Structure 1
């Protein structure tokens, strides 16, 4: 359909004979009708092509241009398609996480410096990231703090201090101040999360 010719005609430069071709009509009205039908078909094809080009132009005009990312830029990462280990519910998970630094820029994708504990492919389409322009008021930013890399190659955050303890549903939890983070970033962690601390 792109060439307007049959594959046989493209490779052999002629159309094969079927062996039952009708004789050319000597009736002038039949010839005129065939010409008119071909003319209508050609005009319709041109109109459809013109309409498709106009629709493409309008769509490209409305489409917002992706930001020009550079190596070292910070970006937010969309969590919609991520399989995060600690995700309990898709609805309750943050829509954007980060910021993460860009390690490499490709034509339609960026490679991010992601923590190994995330276990996701670091190369993502540019539609799944957005520029980091600083946190919104009241928004907590997941800053990477000092980490220890275990023999298995996993990252673990260092505990600076255990501030408090409590029993929750019969299980012991600790209020942890993480090394490299402030007081507002303290979290309650179950005993199992602090095995190597």
Structure 2
């Protein structure tokens, strides 16, 4: 169970924690001569794991940011259009309803705040 390889670390959990692969023989090693070597080995293994995880994070971020675009710089008084992807309308079918609604005036720049009146209820879709 502890000796299989993990993808992002490229080594087993056992090696990550103990700095060596598990041995199944009953050879007893003196702790005095082995402890210094084990300590330096563990530090190097932990450093390598940390570098691999940071590399994985950078790689995942690169692929996640491919479809993201920089938001335009809105100012109060600008007019914007609202996409109706996540808003339920009173139309009988979504296929025949409008794709965009507006224009709406930007009232305040805190994050994304539109003055759309009392027609719709917007819910935060952030997780």
Check whether the contact 2:104–2:114 (CA below 8 A) recurs between aligned residues. no
Shift of 1:124: 7.5
Structure 1 residues 82 and 63, CA gap change in structure 2 (3 angstroms): closer
Aligned twin of 1:110: 113
Structure showing greater radius of gyration is 1
Indicate the SS of the match to 2:81.
strand
Quick check: which one's helix share is greater? 2
Give the TM-score normalised by the residue count of structure 2: 0.56
Distance 2:124 2:41 in 1: 53
For 1:81-92, what aligned pairs fall within 5 Å after superposition? 81-84=86-89, 86-92=90-96
Quick check: which one's strand share is greater? 1
Cα RMSD between the aligned structures? 3.1
Query: How many residues are paired up?
Result: 96
Distance 2:49 2:39 in 1: 15
Shift of 1:41: 2.2
Structure 1 regions of 5+ residues with no counterpart? 1-23, 126-197
Aligned twin of 1:12: none
- Which of 98, 101, 104 matches 1:100? 104
